[in-house]
Chain A
Amino acid sequence: MAAVVEKVKGTACVLRGDDIDTDRIIPARYLRCVTFDGIGQYAFEDDRKQAKGNHPLDDARFAGAGILVVGRNFGCGSSREHAPQSLMRFGFNAFVGASFAEIFHGNCTALGLPCVTLGERDLAALMDSVELDPTQQVVVDLVARTVSSRAGVMQATIRDGTRQALLEGSWNATVVLIDAGAAIERTARALPYVSGFQSS
């Protein structure tokens, strides 16, 4: 089994903006690799270069942050797991946002990284609070389904299946799926195209 993820505590970094895609999180040239080792340093590389030091990931006040606070539809676009891999290796262990793209969310779960969403007002308040005082502790609590900070204890949303997998440490799905044993072959054999479409 994988590690149990009940709470993620740490300082946070605020990355404003909606529809931030995985090409921005990790430019495609860094997908030319056969391992994920070392890709943390390339997270948001082009955005950071263009921001000339003014990108939140380069802001000294956010250095060492373990929680990334984002906007709407974060991680849209390509299915590249290199995106959450690079953010994880940069140091983020949880994401709090308005919403997450489907595949990015699934990839994060498979790495044991919770993605939780907050209501619009709460998210705005959290962003303001963290920017005002980046030294504060933020706690993403999966048991209580809350995000706590100086801005208050906020009700967070996380999908039941995802939450359960993180709480049980069963987020490495391969281990869970293998458990089905011969039921996999039984399901396959019952499908007409698996059993019946071979040339007769």
Chain B
Amino acid sequence: MPPAKSLFDKVWDAHTVRELPGGQTQLFIGLHLIHEVTSPQAFAQLREMGLRVRFPQRTFATVDHIIPTDSQRRPLADSLAEEMLVHLERNCAEHGIQLWLPSSGKQGIVHVIGPELGLTQPGTTIACGDSHTSTHGAFGAVAFGIGTSQVRDVLATQCLALNKPRLRRIEVTGKLAAGVYAKDVILHIIRRLGVNGGVGFAYEYGGPVIDAMSMEERLTVCNMSIEGGARVGYVNPDEIAIEYLRGREFSPKGAAWERAVRYWRGIASDAAAHADDRVELAGHEIAPTITWGINPGQALGVDEALPQLTRVRDDERAGFAEACEFMGFAPGQKIAGTKIDVAFIGSCTNGRISDLREAARVARTGKVAAGVRALVVPGSQQVAKQAEAEGLHEIFRSAGFEWREAGCSMCLAMNPDKLQGRELCASSSNRNFKGRQGSPTGRTLLMSPAMVAAAALAGKVVDVRERL
């Protein structure tokens, strides 16, 4: 019998082209996803080096970061955004790369459309010039966020030069309580292991809580691996992953489907596979979780209060004080009850159909509070279409939410959706960094989409469990 191996080792070994001097590995990348922000300089360098895209049929593009969500009509009102889009169109046309623009009906956030089109498959390697590429690990892919020079590397060679990370298995045991979502699970993991706890590691998520999750929930968990410092996070593929992929546009068909399923089943970690580190967390201990500070590890259960300064670890005290000052919170204070100005539901973390269904379930119980600006931004055009077929957009609109078009929107403020001044935003996105949502002094509280919807109706941070 061959020795027991983890999915990570199996995928790494199968994709190794060669070992490079100094200990890096040249790894073949099965799927390269590109978008308008991190690719133009890479194409320009490719041109300077006189090179072509090596595997254009394994490269796919969409536009997400800069696209306005109120009107996607061309030319875009922001001339810089329009210029980026024109570059993307030109580069894709010149190199024979498939590009999904809004006119295709399949445009959306790159990490939403990959799975939805069936491009993201188990046992593959994936790279994208975006740190949330870890999302695709939900299917048992090994997926790397990369910078622009590495986008150039992949365009030119379909390979990356990488240091092999170590493997940490994170096991979430037991069961989640009602009103506790995948977002709470990953915020809890980051809170426990720290925002740099995963540096140098790939995370393998497992255990009964992860096993019971839908694909969309697993995508949410893997998405925020990078917020915990881990560039790669994945879940072993199972029947839930296989069923999700059945019949999708880029899923294998006919006899090839059977071959694919055999490969996918075999690529999962063997039961006795080695992990360099193991962590176990109890699912029933996880509460609806919110961030209160300026990094995603500064989080609390919604029913908890901030610690007193004397209870904060020495090496975290300066960061704790800085976060309190920026956010306007005091040590010992509860975050529940804090008045909000903006509610944002969307992003590659939580902009999928199941997220919108959960948020709508809450939204139908009331009206957006006076003075709160509330946005629902579907993660892709296909998500929007499905939501509209189910009437979710009407539920949101009649509750007082704006129903927008697909894009990254207020997650990162490269488009017109931004906070103003010191506004406080309840957000289903992934980062609460200073200035992240477009105003240098704007403030972000990360939470699940259902919690955001509940906050929008109450006008303040509340425990969604009281609304369900």
Instruction: Give A residues with C-beta under 8 Å from B.
Output: 16-19, 21, 23-24, 27-29, 31-36, 46-47, 49-50, 72-73, 76-82, 84, 99-103, 106-107, 110-111, 159-165, 168, 172-174, 176-178, 180, 183-184, 187-188, 190-194, 196-200
CB-defined interface of B132-174 with A at 8 Å, one 1/0 digit per residue?
0100000000000111111011001111110101000000000
Contact B14 A190 (CB under 8 A): yes
CB closest chain-A residue, reference B316: A18
Contact B157 A187 (CB under 8 A): no
Report if A110-B322 is in contact (Cβ < 8 Å); known contacts: A28-B412, A73-B195.
no
Q: Does B100 contact A (CB under 8 A)?
A: no
Contact A101 B199 (CB under 8 A): yes
Contact B435 A24 (CB under 8 A): yes
Kindly list 9 other residue pairs between chains A and B, CB separation below 8 angstroms, not including A27-B440, A103-B231. A173-B160, A178-B157, A183-B18, A184-B28, A191-B14, A196-B256, A199-B254, A199-B256, A200-B256
Complex-state Cα separation, A81 to B38, whole angstroms: 8
A-B contact list, 29 entries, CB within 8 Å: A24-B434, A28-B413, A29-B414, A33-B84, A47-B434, A76-B229, A77-B226, A77-B431, A99-B199, A102-B200, A103-B147, A107-B147, A107-B149, A160-B22, A161-B22, A162-B163, A173-B160, A174-B156, A176-B161, A180-B18, A180-B26, A180-B157, A180-B159, A184-B54, A184-B157, A188-B55, A193-B123, A193-B124, A194-B30
Segment at the A interface, from B75-83, B385-393, B449-457: B75-83
Contact B156 A35 (CB under 8 A): no
Report if A76-B123 is in contact (Cβ < 8 Å); known contacts: A49-B440, A165-B22.
no
Contact B147 A81 (CB under 8 A): yes
Give the chain A neighbours of B436 by CB distance below 8 A. 23, 28
Contact A46 B199 (CB under 8 A): no
Q: Does B16 contact A (CB under 8 A)?
A: yes
Give the chain B neighbours of A19 by CB distance below 8 A. 195-196, 295, 297, 319
Complex-state Cα separation, A159 to B165, whole angstroms: 12
Q: Does B20 contact A (CB under 8 A)?
A: yes
Q: How many A-B pairs with Cβ below 8 Å?
A: 227
Complex-state Cα separation, A47 to B319, whole angstroms: 15
CB-defined interface of B108-128 with A at 8 Å, one 1/0 digit per residue?
000000000000010110000
Q: How far is the CB of B165 from the nearest CB of chain A, in Å? A: 8
Give the chain A neighbours of B131 by CB distance below 8 A. 77-79, 103
Q: How far is the CB of B199 from the nearest CB of chain A, in Å? A: 6
Q: How far is the CB of B257 from the nearest CB of chain A, in Å? A: 8
Nearest 5 A-B pairs (CB), nearest first?
Answer: A164-B22, A110-B149, A81-B147, A107-B147, A161-B24
Contact B196 A24 (CB under 8 A): no
CB closest chain-B residue, reference A76: B195
Complex-state Cα separation, A164 to B161, whole angstroms: 13
CB closest chain-A residue, reference B257: A197
Q: Which single member of A84, A162, A191 contacts B28 (CB below 8 Å)?
A: A191
CB closest chain-B residue, reference A36: B41
Give the chain A neighbours of B297 by CB distance below 8 A. 19
Q: Does B255 contact A (CB under 8 A)?
A: yes
Complex-state Cα separation, A73 to B296, whole angstroms: 13
Instruction: Give B residues with C-beta under 8 Å from A.
Output: 14-18, 20-24, 26, 28, 30, 37-38, 40-41, 44-45, 49, 51, 54-55, 58, 65-66, 78, 80-81, 83-84, 87, 121, 123-124, 129-131, 133, 145-150, 152-153, 156-161, 163, 165, 195-196, 199-200, 226-227, 229-231, 252-256, 259-260, 263, 295, 297, 315, 318-319, 322, 412-414, 431, 433-436, 438, 440-441
Contact B263 A192 (CB under 8 A): yes
Report if A80-B38 is in contact (Cβ < 8 Å); known contacts: A46-B435, A160-B22, A187-B17.
yes
Contact B159 A161 (CB under 8 A): no
Q: How far is the CB of B80 from the nearest CB of chain A, in Å? A: 4
CB closest chain-A residue, reference B260: A197
Contact A180 B147 (CB under 8 A): no
Complex-state Cα separation, A139 to B416, whole angstroms: 44
Q: How far is the CB of B230 from the nearest CB of chain A, in Å? A: 8
Complex-state Cα separation, A28 to B160, whole angstroms: 26
Contact B256 A198 (CB under 8 A): yes
Complex-state Cα separation, A46 to B38, whole angstroms: 22
Contact A174 B49 (CB under 8 A): yes
Give the chain B neighbours of A188 by CB distance below 8 A. 28, 55, 158
Contact B28 A177 (CB under 8 A): no
Complex-state Cα separation, A110 to B434, whole angstroms: 27
Q: How far is the CB of A104 from the nearest CB of chain B, in Å? A: 8
Most buried by B among A31, A101, A161, A174: A174
Contact A102 B158 (CB under 8 A): no
Report if A103-B199 is in contact (Cβ < 8 Å); known contacts: A177-B161, A183-B17.
no
Report if A34-B40 is in contact (Cβ < 8 Å); known contacts: A173-B153, A174-B157.
yes
Contact A173 B149 (CB under 8 A): yes
Q: How far is the CB of A72 from the nearest CB of chain B, in Å? A: 6
Q: How far is the CB of B162 from the nearest CB of chain A, in Å? A: 8
Most buried by A among B66, B133, B150, B315: B150
Q: How far is the CB of A172 from the nearest CB of chain B, in Å? A: 8
Contact B156 A178 (CB under 8 A): yes
Complex-state Cα separation, A160 to B65, whole angstroms: 35
CB closest chain-A residue, reference B319: A18
Give the chain A neighbours of B149 by CB distance below 8 A. 81, 107, 110-111, 172-174
CB closest chain-B residue, reference A82: B148
Complex-state Cα separation, A106 to B133, whole angstroms: 15
Q: How far is the CB of A46 from the nearest CB of chain B, in Å? A: 4
Give the chain A neighbours of B315 by CB distance below 8 A. 18
Q: Which single member of B153, B226, B435 contacts A174 (CB below 8 Å)?
A: B153
Most buried by A among B40, B131, B259: B131
Give the chain B neighbours of A101 by CB distance below 8 A. 196, 199, 229
